[in-house]
Amino acid sequence: MSTYTPTPRTKVRRLPKRAVYDKAGVHAILDEGFICHLGFAVDGQPYVIPTLYARSGEVLYMHGSGASRTLKTLAEGVQVCATVTLMDGFVLARSAFHHSLNYRSVVVLGRARLVSKPAERLEALRTITNHVVSQRWEELRPPNELELKQTLVLALALEEVSAKVRVGPPVDDEEDYASPVWGGVVPIHTRLGAPIADGRVLPDVEPPAPSRLIVGRKRTAATP
């Protein structure tokens, strides 16, 4: 199937015209982002925790310290809500009521599973690393046995999924267009700065090329 089937929990009811269930559209949002927020509850107390993620096919991978309460709790199979939001512009209307944001967001519901098979764990860590900087994993020292023991990797299947997108200019009440107030969109761009060495880089070792830092994203490299 090329689309996600809406469920009672993922069907967009508020402004349904903004809903996106197309897999290609959902994947594009997930691949452009790199931080998701994980929502879950423990003994009635809700938590929302930001974490790095990467998509591989129909799975989101997340990793962190083996001592992380968040990951250990999710590994027990509690219900989780993962959200990714990209902001594209401030929508400035002629009335306060119609001000808005242009955005793209994805919501994933389900239960995460602990990734225990060594091959999948390494592939998940490679995927996460290369999601931030293309081909970074291939030039690094791989994790050793101790580091792997100290790391938890979780997988969240993309099964209950929906996206919501707002694009375009403000939609004002007709009478407000006669108001002497500017209306339109102020675009939001994420911009990468020039790499800063840590002071221990060996001679003649160059930083990652800008093209490796923006693969799959609309982020732009800084102008020299």
pLDDT score of 223: 39
Q: What are phi and psi of 97, to 5 degrees?
A: -60, -35
pLDDT score of 66: 83
The contacts of residue 193 (CB under 8 Å, 6+ apart) are 222
The number of helices, as runs of H, and strands, as runs of E, in the chain is 5, 12
- Over its length of 224 residues, how does the chain's per-residue pLDDT go in tens digits? 899 999 999 999 988 899 999 999 999 999 999 999 999 999 899 999 999 999 999 999 999 988 888 888 999 999 999 999 999 999 999 999 999 999 999 999 999 999 999 999 999 999 999 999 999 999 999 999 999 999 999 999 999 999 999 999 999 999 999 999 999 999 999 888 889 999 999 999 999 988 888 755 555 555 33
Half-sphere exposure (CA, 13 Å, Cβ side) for 135?
8
Instruction: For domain 16-171, give the CATH number.
Output: 2.30.110.10
What is the rounded distance in angstroms from the CA atom of residue 41 to the CA atom of residue 105?
Answer: 22
For 15-49, write each residue's pLDDT tens digit. Answer: 889 999 999 999 999 999 999 999 999 989 999 99
For the whole model, what pTM was predicted? 0.92
DSSP conformation class of 168:
S
H-helix segments, the chain: 23-32, 69-75, 118-132, 145-149, 210-213
pLDDT score of 224: 38
Domain boundaries along the sequence of the chain: 16-171, 190-224
* CA nearest to 30, candidates 48, 12, 4, 5: 4
- List, as one string, the DSSP characters of 104-130: EEEEEEEE-EE--SHHHHHHHHHHHHH
